[in-house]
């Protein structure tokens, strides 16, 4: 009847202690079905430490997997454990978890500092602790100077960084980021990737989902590939990528003057084709994605091009899936 004053979670009267021998994230034969639709089938996975990329096309089950981990969905069968505790039954493990949701909606009327510090209090911090913690994490993601601006005035990339900052409160051991790079401009992308890599170096367990292979590739080599709700591959991306290089790829660049940019890019050996789908867009065909991605940033900066986006359309992942499934996905 009484509210949970200790507020460590359901029915607990003592401070929750993680199971030190258990992996940070553990899924055992986890399935999630909606009627006849299998959003996830028979996933078994144990992760501790380092950055892991969760790759999959839209609808592959990445968000379902994260929602199971974050206690928002109840598994249809199997076990989900965070630090050895079932998050659906007990929210206590979230004291050690930070979550960056995929959804764009935020509380636009709050300032970044107000948002982060208020939600930090849900971690059990007092007002003063929460405020200094908010200062710390906003500094970590590089938003100190705009911390007192309303979220409604933030760009997409800044909002993503606020979400990441809010997830870093209380120095969590597990950080789950659902599509953190989606819709960000190149600069924000680089910043966010650096933050994620930094967290990995600090020994945190980080899960990052994406449907774009090259984003993940720039962050980590340890990947999990989901396809149609199944776990298709798990392990080092490098080995797979090497065999993929001779498959043709497309890169789409949004910029002010595509023709000028094309002149500079065509000199690159890895590029074998260029097309202009619209007035402010440029598409490059290449056999060697790695090299293009390595050269492109410098090329853009050196020649002073104004670029608004760099996208690898889905066919990167499609092709790796195609490769992994032996053509069965098409």
Partner 1 sequence: MMSPPKKDNVFRALDRKLGAVAEFTMRQYRTKLSTWVILGVGFIAIFIVVLFYVDSMQQEIEAIDNDGDSMDWDGDGYPTGQERIYGTDPDNPDSHPGTFSPPIAPDPPEKWINEDDFDWDLSARGDTTVGYDDDGDCRLSDSTQSQKDNNRNNVECDIILDYNEMMGVWAEPDSDRLVDEDPDEEKYAKEAIHRAFLLAIGKMGFVFLLGIFLPLFLATGLIREEMDNSTMHFMLAKPIARRDIFLGRIVGYLGIVWPYIIAMGLVVGIISGFAGPGDSFFRFADLGMWMAIIFATMLATLVYGMLFCALGTLWKRGIVLALPFAAWELGMAILSFGAPSASILRFSVIGWSLNIIDAASLVVWPNMALFINMGMWGGGHGAGGYWDNSLEGAGALSAFASDTGLGISPIATIVVSTFVLLFQAAVLWLVGSAIFKGKEIE
Q: Which of 167, 196, 251, 255 binds partner 1 (CB under 8 A)?
A: 167
Position 313 contacts partner 1 (CB under 8 A): no
How far apart are CB 112 and partner 1 at their closest, in Å? 13
- Residue 214 and residue 244 in contact, taking contact as beta carbons nearer than 8 Å: no
Position 175 contacts partner 1 (CB under 8 A): no
Residues 6+ apart with CB under 8 A from 172: 96, 97, 98, 204
Nearer to partner 1, 183 or 186 (CB): 183
Distances (CA, A) of 180 to 41, 103, 158, 229, 268: 25, 10, 11, 21, 30
CB under 8 A: which stretch of 100-108, 191-199, 201-209, 312-320 binds partner 1? 100-108
Q: Which of 29, 77, 79, 122 binds partner 1 (CB under 8 A)?
A: 122
Position 153 contacts partner 1 (CB under 8 A): no
Give me 176's structure tokens.
């789950």
Number of neighbouring beta carbons within 10 Å of residue 79:
12
CB under 8 A: which stretch of 89-97, 251-259, 289-297, 298-306 binds partner 1? 89-97
Spatial separation of the C-alpha atoms in residues 131 and 121, rounded to whole Å: 9
Position 36 contacts partner 1 (CB under 8 A): no
119 burial level (CB within 10 Å; 0-12, 13-18, 19+)? middle
Give me 86's structure tokens.
């079932």
Residues found near partner 1 in the complex (CB under 8 A): 1, 3-10, 16, 63, 67, 70-74, 91-95, 97-99, 101, 103, 105-107, 109-110, 118-119, 121-127, 166-167
């Amino acid at each position: 009847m009484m509210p949970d004053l200790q507020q460590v979670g359901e029915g607990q009267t003592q401070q929750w202690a993680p199971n030190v021998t258990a992996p940070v994230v553990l899924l055992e034969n986890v399935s999630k079905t909606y009627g006849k639709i299998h959003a996830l089938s028979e996933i078994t996975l144990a992760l501790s430490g380092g950055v892991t990329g969760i790759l999959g096309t839209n609808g592959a089950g990445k968000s379902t997997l994260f929602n199971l981990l974050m206690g928002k969905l109840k598994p249809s069968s199997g076990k989900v454990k965070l630090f050895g505790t079932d998050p659906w039954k007990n929210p206590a493990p979230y004291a050690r978890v930070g979550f960056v949701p995929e959804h764009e909606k935020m509380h636009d009327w709050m300032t970044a500092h107000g948002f982060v510090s208020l939600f930090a209090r849900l971690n059990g911090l007092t007002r003063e602790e929460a405020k200094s913690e908010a200062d710390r994490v906003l500094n970590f993601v590089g938003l100190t100077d705009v911390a007192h601006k309303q979220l409604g005035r933030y760009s997409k990339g800044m909002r993503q960084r606020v979400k990441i900052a809010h997830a870093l409160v209380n120095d969590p051991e597990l950080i789950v980021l659902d599509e953190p790079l989606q819709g960000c401009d190149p600069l924000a992308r680089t910043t966010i990737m650096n933050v994620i890599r930094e967290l990995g170096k600090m020994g945190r367990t980080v899960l990052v989902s994406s449907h774009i292979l090259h984003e993940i590739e720039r962050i980590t080599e340890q990947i999990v590939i989901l396809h149609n709700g199944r776990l298709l591959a798990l392990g080092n991306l490098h080995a797979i990528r090497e065999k993929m290089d001779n498959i043709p790829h497309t890169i789409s660049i949004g910029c002010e003057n595509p023709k000028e940019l094309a002149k500079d890019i065509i000199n690159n050996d890895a590029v074998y084709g260029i097309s202009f789908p619209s007035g402010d867009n440029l598409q490059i065909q290449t056999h060697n994605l790695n090299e293009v991605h390595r050269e492109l940033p410098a090329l853009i900066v050196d020649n002073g091009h104004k670029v608004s986006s760099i996208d690898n359309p889905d066919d990167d992942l499609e092709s790796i899936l195609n490769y992994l499934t032996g053509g069965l996905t098409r």
